[in-house]
Amino acid sequence: MSAVNDTKLKSVIFLLTRLPSDGDTRLWISIPFFFMYVISIVGNSVILFIVKTDPSLHQPMYIFLSMLAITDLGISISTMPTILGIYLFNSREISLDACLAQLFFIHLLQCIESSLLLLMALDRFIAIYNPLRYATILILPRIAKMGLVAVLRAMVIILPLPFLLKRFQYCQANFFSHSYCVHREVMKMACSDIRVNIIYGLFTKLLTMGLDSLLIFLSYVMIFKTVLSITSHEECLRALNTCISHLCAVLLFYTPDISLTVIQSFEKDSSPLLQILLGYMSLLLPPLMNPIVYSMKSKHLRVRVIRVFIK
């Protein structure tokens, strides 16, 4: 009986979903996706190169930004094979093992990015609340430890997911509603009792993005409270201006994901097309836009980015 179950498990094939299109349209749709990936990879790589090679950028804010760029690169690389494959080559099939590997890295990197956005909110709070001690509080060894804790936290929380899914038998029509694998999609394909997975999936969501977004919100409440106590109007605006890039990154990361979660949980009759688009936005927008937003808002960084491309 065990041998039969193992055979069934290994032969599981999932079918990915794309935007409605025929052959010619599918190839045209692949073009913007291809350029989005190119811009994401080039943009985040340039950010890493500049921060690494310019000693004047070896400051807490830019070190956290380089960590964010590494995470965004990982998300782009994790999703690229299936998203581009489905539009360029109509490759809709994915095996169970490949699917579990992809969902592990997607959830792991999203959890790390959520933690980094929280650390960047803490960075902005310290810079505004206690600017004189900013450089002595966020020293390089401490920043490295904070980054390591973010990675270890994500590993501990996300690692059980593929093992919980591996034990299931999959006997339903295995059509996903996205072009990549995530825990919720794979879990729904199982013909076993998935209550443990539902509870653990909710636990991971609340413990990572739920808790992080709450703490980021509280950080900005304290930031605004501190800024409002500043008597000079110009200094108040200058302090708030340093937070705009981070606020944009937070909105780009959390808004599509929260919207997709709400729709999947409460809007059972929602448009599949809307779910596909929100899914793409939650994974493709942050890696694409973060380098652009930070380069536009940071004059120091923007000058060095221009120099890279002019040379």
At 286, give phi and psi (nearest 5°): -60, -50
CATH number at residue 10: 1.20.1070.10
What pLDDT is attached to residue 108?
A: 97
pLDDT along the chain (311 residues), means of 10: 44 84 80 94 94 89 95 95 90 91 96 96 92 90 95 96 90 81 90 89 92 95 88 78 90 92 75 86 94 87 80 62
Specify the number of domains making up the chain: 1
What pLDDT is attached to residue 268?
A: 67
- Please give the Cα distance from 191 to 169 (Å, whole number): 6
What pLDDT is attached to residue 6?
A: 46
Query: What is the number of other CB atoms lying within 10 angstroms of the CB of residue 145?
Result: 10
| Domain with 160 in it | 2-310
SS3 call for 137: helix
What pLDDT is attached to residue 266?
A: 73
Q: Model-level pTM greater than 0.85? A: yes
Q: Which two tokens stand for residue 134?
A: 């900013």
Q: Which two tokens stand for residue 267?
A: 């809007």
CA angle 265, 269, 270 (to 5 degrees): 75
- Please give the Cα distance from 17 to 24 (Å, whole number): 17
> What totals of helices (H) and strands (E) does the chain contain, helices first?
14, 2
At 91, give phi and psi (nearest 5°): -90, 95
- Please give the Cα distance from 137 to 139 (Å, whole number): 6
